[in-house]
């Protein structure tokens, strides 16, 4: 049931926290596939990376679909709230 569809997003002025602390992020990939760790058959996976800093400069999440949708709605609500503060 994997879609093999990957959405890639270039990131600017973004940071992630990994095993060695905070580092700048340069891109994110979003895809639906088999998880490595999450206890689900398929998950929506998001990888935040900075390839120039090597393999440790990666933050990965595996979300079941209800969690992914809830997170997406929360992000959109946060964006709308922030926009109202900057207008």
Write down the domain spans for the chain: 6-86
CA separation (Å) from 11 to 25, 27, 36, 85?
6, 5, 24, 23
pTM: 0.87
**Distance between CA atoms of residues 45 and 71, nearest Å:** 12
Name the pLDDT band for 76 (thresholds 50, 70, 90). Answer: very high
Of the candidates 19, 87, 7, the one whose C-alpha atom is nearest the C-alpha of residue 45 is: 7
Name the pLDDT band for 1 (thresholds 50, 70, 90). Answer: low
**Distance between CA atoms of residues 69 and 64, nearest Å:** 9
């Amino acid at each position: 049931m994997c879609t093999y569809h990957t959405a890639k997003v270039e990131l600017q002025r973004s940071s992630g926290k990994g095993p060695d602390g905070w580092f700048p992020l340069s891109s994110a990939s979003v895809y639906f596939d088999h998880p490595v760790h999450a206890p689900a058959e398929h998950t929506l996976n998001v990888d935040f990376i900075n390839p120039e800093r090597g393999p440790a400069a990666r933050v990965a999440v595996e979300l079941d679909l209800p969690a992914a949708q809830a997170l997406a709605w929360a992000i959109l609500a946060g964006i709308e709230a922030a926009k109202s503060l900057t207008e």
